[in-house]
Amino acid sequence: MYTSLKEECYEANLQLPKLGLVLFTFGNVSAVDRQRAVFAIKPSGVSYETLTPADIVICDYEGKVVEGTLRPSSDTKTHAYLYKQWEAIGGVAHTHSTYAVAWAQAGLDIPVFGTTHADHTHRDIPCAPVLTDAMIQGDYEHETGCQILDCLTEKALRYQETEMVLLQNHGPFTWGKTAAKAVYNSAVLEELAKMAYLTLQINPATPRLKDALCNKHYERKHGQNAYYGQGC
């Protein structure tokens, strides 16, 4: 019944180990079907080497299983919350990639130091604060989604423009119009995190990218008059 959705989710999940973004059973990707108000997600604790499309679990926006025999990812309620809140996204990814996690553990936003960063977002990549004890002891995964949303809201960031976030002491979450784009954003985030770290190692006093150059690179790729690529 959900064959194509499961296949999309499956293919996106397989990209995580191929891109070096996860080890063992770490991480997960989901893909949503807006017309049927369900999403597909990787089952919890299943190796990518043995994962099959049939293993993918279908859930509703409350995180309840609609189809599947395996337990869905432990992060399912986080994905569900983001799908409910952000109607324009089609996929969500969560990884434990090294440099992104390092920034998250440090509790720091990733600053815009260069045009590679600005090509993808003209804002710092935000780090949402660690959850409170009450959040952790309550509906933890749901509260994780709330913390992500609150972080973007407080920093006046649009989820369509900043498709990535860090959660302090946890790691990165990314999203996009498709599951494949969410994975792409996870790979980009890891590279930006690595570049920023190395930049500060070489020169701890590195200045931020100047606004004019930052905005130019973002707008030429994403703005109303964008001219990057072969689109009409």
CB-CB contact of 119 with 139 (8 Å): no
Q: Is 228 a catalytic residue?
A: yes
Residue of 61, 119, 139, 197 marked catalytic = 119
How would you write 146-203 as a 3-class SS string?
HHHHHHHHHCCCCCCCCCEEEECCCEEEEEECCHHHHHHHHHHHHHHHHHHHHHHHHC
And the tokens for 196? 């920023």
Q: Is 119 a catalytic residue?
A: yes
Query: Among residues 17, 199, 194, 23, which one has the least CA distance to residue 102?
Result: 194
And the tokens for 162? 């900043």
The residues annotated as belonging to the active site are 119, 228
